[in-house]
Each structure stands twice: as C-alpha cells, then as structure tokens.
C-alpha cells in the first residue's frame, strides 16, 4: 500500500489533497462526501469581516484601527449583503464540522482590520479550528502608498494574529507582491506556519448593458497552475514554512506536479464545482 501521507501546518494528513475554501463546505453532507472521497483536510469558506460590519454597525474603536490598510480592496469584493455566514453561524458550523468529520478543519478569515483579524481568529480557535488560513488581498490604488507599506501592514496583522492564537496560521498570498521569497521569509519570522499560493480574488468587470462595474470570479483552469509551480519551486528549501498550492489543481497530474515543485499539499475547489465532489476520489 502506497503511503500518501504528508504534513501541513504541523498536522499529519492522510494525503496531499486538501479542499480549498469554497461554498461547497457550507454543507455538512458535502464535507462528509469530501472526506469519503479522500480529502485529507478541508478549508472552510471564508468568514468576511466586511459582512459582519454590514450586520452590526457597532464595531468598537479597536476594530476601526487600521481600517484604511485594506480599504482599497473592498470595492473589488462581491456584494456581501446576501452573504449567509454570520459570525455565530460560522462558528456553529465550524463546531458541527468538527463533529461531522475526522479530518482536520481549517477556518478561513478574510478580514479588513487588524482588530477584526485578531478577534475572529481567537473565536475560530475556541470553536475548534485545527488551523486558520488568513485569506489576504492587498490592492494599492493610492499613488502615495508604497509596496513597502503594503507589506508592512500585512506583516503587522499576521504577527498580531499569530501572537493571539496557538493553532497554526497559514497565509494565503496574492501573486502581486514584487519579492515573494523575501515576503514569505518575513511572514515566517512573524509566526506564519504555512503559505498558500496564490489567492484568486474577485476582479472588476464592466457590464456594458447596465453600465455598472461588477466583481467576477471564474473557475480556475489548469493553465493557472504553472506560475504556482514556479514559485513553489523557488520557495522550496528556502523557507521552513509549509507550502500549499491552490488554483489550477484539477487532475492527478496537477497534484503530482505540485508535490514535485515542493508543495506539502495541493488544494482543490474549482475542479469540485466542475466535476463534483467525488472527483477527489478519481484524482
């Protein structure tokens, strides 16, 4: 019997295939199917701090500190007014997921403020998350904001979260940083245990009939895997942080290539939407 086991974020996994953050994980039945199909771990759909602000306008002063750090990216997010995963619902779902499956469950947080990241990360840890993935996306639209400032803001929030929780923390990075190896090294110094490359985020598109700008997110294609393999190979051997490849993983060959490039795990989401959850078993 071939041993497919691997380690990611200090967790012993039965195999290298992890379900990336996707709305599919909002269903406990789906999560049981993922486990039965062979998924080694599941990253829950992201908890959006912006949605919590929409529901409760009473975020305290601590949460407001640093809001400008990531405010530029908010216009590029989907409309969260109909987002279902409220704070308490998310934490309750996390607890139920832990009881429903035996594989590790990683919470995913998409925050907007330093205080928000810390608060919700602590809540996720208390609810039983085996690890926390920080779903980061920094977009500079102000000409006075430098790349160094963006990196400094990211390092600060990762440091604060890692100090606040005991469970391992992974950072899902955007591909737009200039020196990814240097940034990963500094994130590791800040306490990050793993890096997921790369974030696929909503991008603005024009609706030429309605004359509106709308955020869009398409399913990934295998062609998107190539730059991820490139950067994983560059990082491998030069960081103690674990590496996850996410985006473009659709086939068994894609998983094998990811491991060959130095990744600990390969994450799948779009392929499951296209081919079904049982696709994990075929892979």
Q: Which two tokens stand for residue 118?
A: 């810390």
Q: Which residues contact 224 (CB under 8 A, 6 or more apart)?
A: 200, 247, 248
Instruction: Indicate whether this model's pTM tops 0.75.
Output: yes
CA dihedral 260, 261, 266, 271 (to 10 degrees): -90
Written as tens digits, the pLDDT of the chain (283 aa) is 789 999 999 999 999 999 999 999 999 999 999 999 999 999 999 887 555 554 444 444 444 444 444 443 334 344 444 445 678 999 999 999 999 999 999 999 986 566 778 999 999 999 999 999 999 877 777 889 898 998 998 999 999 999 999 999 999 998 889 899 999 999 999 999 999 999 977 677 898 999 998 877 789 999 999 999 999 999 999 999 999 999 999 999 999 999 999 999 999 999 999 999 999 999 9
Let me know the angle formed at the C-alpha of 133 by 127 and 137, rounded to the nearest 5 degrees. Answer: 130
Q: Judge whether 154 and 194 are in contact, CB under 8 Å.
A: no
């Amino acid at each position: 019997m071939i041993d497919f086991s691997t380690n990611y974020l200090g967790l012993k996994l039965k195999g290298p295939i992890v379900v990336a953050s996707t709305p599919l994980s909002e269903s406990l039945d789906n999560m049981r199917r993922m486990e039965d199909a062979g998924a080694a771990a599941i990253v829950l759909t992201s908890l959006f701090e912006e949605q919590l602000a929409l529901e409760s306008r009473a975020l305290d002063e601590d949460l407001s500190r640093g809001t400008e750090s990531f405010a530029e990216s908010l216009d590029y997010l989907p409309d969260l007014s109909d987002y279902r995963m409220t704070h308490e619902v998310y934490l309750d779902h996390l607890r139920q997921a832990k009881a429903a499956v035996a594989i590790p469950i990683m919470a995913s947080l998409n925050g907007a403020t330093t205080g928000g990241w810390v608060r919700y990360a602590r809540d996720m840890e208390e609810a039983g998350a085996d690890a926390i993935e920080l779903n980061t996306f920094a977009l500079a639209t102000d000409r006075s904001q430098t790349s160094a400032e963006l990196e400094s803001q990211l390092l600060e929030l990762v440091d604060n979260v890692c100090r606040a929780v005991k469970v391992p923390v992974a950072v899902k990075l955007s591909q737009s940083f200039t020196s990814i190896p240097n940034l990963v090294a500094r994130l590791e110094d800040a306490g990050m245990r793993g890096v997921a490359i790369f974030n696929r985020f909503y991008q603005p598109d024009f609706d030429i009939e309605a004359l509106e700008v709308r955020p869009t997110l398409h399913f990934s294609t295998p062609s998107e895997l190539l730059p991820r393999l490139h950067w994983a190979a560059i990082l491998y051997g030069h960081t103690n942080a674990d590496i996850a490849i996410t985006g473009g993983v659709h086939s068994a060959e894609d998983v094998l290539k990811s491991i060959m490039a130095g990744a600990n795990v390969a994450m799948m989401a779009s392929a499951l939407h296209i081919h079904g959850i049982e696709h994990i078993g075929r892979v």
